[in-house]
Structure 1
Amino acid sequence: MSVPTPPVVYSFSDTSKLSDSLAEYILKAQRESIDKRGRFTVAISGGSLPKTLTALISKSGVKWDKWHVFYVDERVVPLDHEDSNHKLAQEALYSKVPIPPGNIHTIDETLLDDLEELSDAYEKELIREFAQKDSARFPVFDLILLGIGPDGHTASLFPGHELLLEHDRWVAPIEDSPKPPPRRVTFTYPVINHATRVAFVATGEGKAQILPNILDTPELGLPAARVRPVAHGQLVWFVDDAASAEVKLQKSEFKL
C-alpha cells in the first residue's frame, strides 16, 4: 500500500499575506482550468473562508463569468439566514464582483423541510454540471477550498460520524451535527478527494492545537486528515504562523 504524499504547507506571518497568496494560487488554478476546459469549477466551505477570498476582488485577470461555484457543505436554513454559508459568501464576495448569479449553485430553499430530498436535489445539481461534461465516476472540481474546526472536522464531516464511511453518495444529509445548526448537507470524501486541487485555510491560535494532529499524525484519522486527493490531485494548506506554531511538518515557501 503506497504512502500518501504529504501536503504542501504554506505558512504566513499574517492573514493579509495569506489571503493575497491564496488569491494568486486561485488565479493560477483558474487560468489552467479555463485553458483546458473553458470553465472553472470551485467548491467552498463557510466559516471565515469567504472573508479570506476577498483579496480576489482587487485582482486583475479573474474571469468571473467562467466560474461555477458550489458549496462543500451548507446549513439547512434559508439562504438569507445568518447561519447560511451562501449568505456569508454573498456578503463577503459575490456582492462585490460580477459573477453571474446563475453560476452560483445553492441548495433549493423550497426543500428545507425534507433533508433527504434537499440532499438529492443538490447532488442532481452537481450531476447536471459535471456528468454531461466529464466521464468520471465522481465530479472532478478544479478547486475545493476547505476550513477546519477545532475538533479536526472539515465540511460537515465530523469525528466519529458515520458519514466518514460514505463511499457512494456525492452529497449526503446530516441531521445530528455536533455543531449547530444540526441539519446540513455535505459533500462526501469521494467528491472532495477527486478534486484536481484541494486547499485548506486555517488561521489563528485557536487552530494551533489541532493542526499537528492533522498534519503530523494523520494516522489519527481526524476528518481533515482523511482528505487525500486521488491520482494527481494536489493538496495544499494555507495557514498563518499562529495556527502552525506547533506543526513539525516542513513548511514551504510560497511560489507559483
Structure 2
Amino acid sequence: MVTTVQGSIKSVVVEPTPASLAARVADRFLTRIVARTRNGRIAHICLTGGSMGGAVLAAAADDDRVATIDWSLVHFWWGDERFVERDDPDRNSLQSRRALLDRLDIPAENIHEVAAPSDGLSLDEAATAYAAELARFGRSGEAWPSFAVCFLGVGPDGHIASLFPDRQEVTVTDAAVLPVRNSPKPPPERVTLTRPVLNHSKRVWLVLTGADKASALGLALAGASYASVPAAGAKGRRRTVFFVDEAAAAEVAPELIDRDY
C-alpha cells in the first residue's frame, strides 16, 4: 500500500538482503539522475554516510550508465559531516569519494564538502560556511537548493543526519546548517543540515538494514513525534521512500510495503 503524507507519497520497499537492497537503490538512483539531467537540468544530490550509504554508491559505480551521464550537471552535498580531517575514516565525504565520486568525470566544484578542522575554521564557522555554500545554489531567493534525491540513514535510535532524538537541533527551523557538539554517537563534533533543508528535497530516500533498525522504522511509519524519532519527520515534497531489508522490515505490516516502486 502507498500512503500520502502532507502531499508526499510515502512507501516502503523491501529487499531480502543488504546487498540486494543496495543494488536496487543504486538502480533507482541512476535512473533518477538520468531522467533529471537528460534535458540539461541540474541535479542536486544529498548523500549520507554509514555502511549502506557507501554500499549504494559502490553499487552505482559498477553500473554502465555511469559513463553516459553528464556529471557536470550533478552537484553532491552531504546531510551531515563529522568534523574531522578529510582523510579520517570517519569522514562521510571520504567514504563517498572512495565508493563513487573519485571515479566520476565531475568538476571539483560540483562536490560540496563541509570544511575540515585543518581548513582553519572552527566548528561554528564550518557550519556557517556550508550554509553560505547552500545559499549560492538556492533558486528564487531560497537559502538552499532543492535536492532531487536526499539519502538518509537511520540509526537504531531513529536519528537522521546528525539530528538526534530529544536534542535541540532536531527542532530548529530558522537555520539551514547547525554545529553539533557532544553528539551521542562519536565523533562528538559534527555539522548537520536541518529538517527544513532535508524536507525541501523532492525525494527523501531513507535506507536502513538490520534487525536493530526495526523498532525505529516501525515508530517512523506509525507517526511518532519527530522530536523523539527524527526519522518520523523526514519527508520529501514529492515522495518519501523507506528502502529496507527483510530484517529491518520485521515490524512493518505487509499492506504498507510497495512492491512496484
Q: Which residue does 1:116 correspond to in 2? A: 124
* Distance (Å, rounded) in 2 between the aligned partners of 1:254 and 1:27: 17
User: Residue in 2 aligned with 1:7?
Assistant: 10
The residue aligned with 1:51 is 55
Structure 2 gap segments, 5+ residues each: none
TM-score by length of 1: 0.89
- Residue of 164, 187, 192 corresponding to 1:158: 164
Q: Equivalent residues in 2 for 1:104-253 (5 A)?
A: 104-109=111-116, 110-111=118-119, 114-128=122-136, 130-131=137-138, 133-136=139-142, 138-219=144-225, 221-230=228-237, 233-248=238-253, 250-253=256-259
Aligned positions of 1:64-83 closer than 5 A? 64-83=71-90
Residues 190, 112 of structure 1: CA spacing in aligned structure 2 closer, same or farther, 3 A cutoff?
Answer: farther
**Does residue 84 of structure 1 match 2:87?**
no
* TM-score, normalised with respect to structure 2: 0.87
**1:107 shift after superposition:** 1.5
Deviation at 1:6, TM superposition (A): 6.3
User: 2:34 maps to which residue?
Assistant: 31
Kept in 1, the 8 Å contact 2:158–2:164? The answer is yes
Instruction: State the identity as a percent.
Output: 35
8 A contact 1:76–1:112 mirrored in 2: no
Q: Kindly state the Cα deviation for residue 244 of structure 1 after the two structures are TM-superposed.
A: 0.6
- Tell me: CA distance 1:172–1:36, structure 2 relative to 1, closer, same or farther (3 Å): farther
Distance of 1:253 and 1:57 partners within structure 2: 25
Report how many residues are paired.
250
**1:101 CA drift (Å):** 2.7
Using the alignment, how far apart are the partners of 2:247 and 2:5 within structure 1? Answer: 29
3-state SS of 1:95 partner:
helix
Q: Which residue of 2 aligns with 1:61?
A: 65
